[in-house]
Amino acid sequence: MRLKKILLLSWIILLSLQLHIFSENKIEHRIAVLVNEELITSYDIVQRMKLSAIIQKIDITTENNQLFINDTVDDLIHEKLKIEKINEYKIKIDESEYIEFETNFFLRSGLDKNQIIKQLSNNSIPFNELEKLLINELSWNKLINGLYFRLTSVSNQEIDEIISRNPNISDNQAKNLVIQRQLDLQSSKMLRDMINEATIEYR
């Protein structure tokens, strides 16, 4: 499997380096990875690379290309697995939840929504691709909170330790940081278990 992954990534590197030569409709939709029989194509990978580069304000170069491709392929695999679990638990997101999450995303990232829409359009990426990415992230967070929030616990010692390092935050903010750290650990563990149980084939 490792050899197949190396060959796949090498092929995608060549493809991504040639993106400026080919128009979007000439990019090959080759099956690159199967995740529990869900497809990830070369087109998916290239489009996600471009989307990630735009929202992370990163230029894809020959120096960082390999790392960027590795991260993108892993992200798409993780996303497929998360969507499976989201669907299993029938997680739903209403419009008000999404709007709040999207607004916070742009505030946290320091990005201007109108500029991002323009950049995505210039790169032949519909804005709903970013919307789908955010909905999946929000849905996963909602799933993890539903499964594990009631299991979290916060000690005074943990709160005091955080405030000693960050004197400007309140007790409630420190408590929320402790809870979020515990939820993040549960999220990582759940995803690792899903990866170990999944059938992942590199084509």
Q: What number is the average pLDDT over the span 41-49?
A: 91
Residue-range definition of the domain harbouring residue 120: 2-202
Grade residue 12 by pLDDT with cuts at 50, 70 and 90. Answer: low
Q: What is the CATH number of the domain that holds 39?
A: 1.10.4030.10
73 has a pLDDT exceeding 50: yes
Q: Number of structural domains, the chain?
A: 1
Long-range contacts of 119-125 (CB under 8 A, 24+ apart): 119/54, 120/51, 120/54, 123/50, 123/54, 124/24, 125/47, 125/50, 125/51, 125/54
- pTM, two decimal places: 0.87
